[in-house]
Amino acid sequence: MLMGAYRKYILTMGIVWTASFIVFALVYYVVIAPQLKVKNQLLKESTEKKQLFELALSAANEDNKKKLAGEVEELKARLFGYVSEYEESADLTFTVSRIAADKRVSDFTVKTSEQGGAQDALAANNLQENHIEVAFASNFLQFASFLNTIERHQPVVFVDRFKVQRDNQGGASNRVDMSLSFFVRKKLGG
């Protein structure tokens, strides 16, 4: 009899514990878990807002303003190495001709080229891309020297493509066709 009462007591305790566990699990998943999720979301948003606030305070600091203004000026100065002024863009054609004369290439020709598709791809408000086509005859050393000088030019002149053809008469010179481009600051008001 004692064994039966003991068994009944253990069975009753097992049912109570199981029922309590189920109730606690339901309360956790229905009440506590959503609150924890909301708490974590609010904590994350609070951290983001705090970082923005600290960034705003940092930007308002006079020393930081001066530092950022200096960085902007430095970036503008670096930009001038890549962009020529609108008024100076015609001079770049003469500069390329002068470089060709200095490198002693022969039969040099230069012409401006209109490339509308590439112009549309450069959707900048203040810059435009100008193109020139050059052709000349030279030996390899003259060509390499010309190419090196063009690529080191300030403002930067980009070599979009070039084609070298061997001379049909068997001479030492080759025919070179090049497409060059450079950035120009757009004319103000136009």
pLDDT tens digits along 56-88: 887 777 887 888 888 888 887 777 777 877 777
Write down the pLDDT at residue 177: 92
Angstrom distances, CA of residue 142 to CA of 147, 156, 172, 174: 9, 20, 11, 10
Q: Is 170 helix (H, G, I), strand (E, B) or coil?
A: coil
**Tokens coding 133:** 């086509």
> Which comes out higher in pLDDT, residue 116 or 154?
154
- CA–CA dist 178, 151 (Å, integer): 12
Residue 186: Cβ within 10 Å count: 12
- CA–CA dist 136, 127 (Å, integer): 29
Write the pLDDT tens digit of every residue in 118-164. 445 455 677 788 889 999 999 888 889 998 998 888 888 888 898 98
- Arithmetic mean of pLDDT, 49-54: 91
Provide the residue type at 12 as one letter.
T
Q: Is the pLDDT of residue 41 over 90?
A: yes
Provide the residue type at 11 as one letter.
L
Q: Residue 25, Cα to own-chain centre: how many angstroms?
A: 51
The answer to whether 130 touches 186, Cβ cutoff 8 Å, is no
Residue 99: name the closest of 47, 154, 57, 54 by CA: 154
**Tokens coding 128:** 């435009």
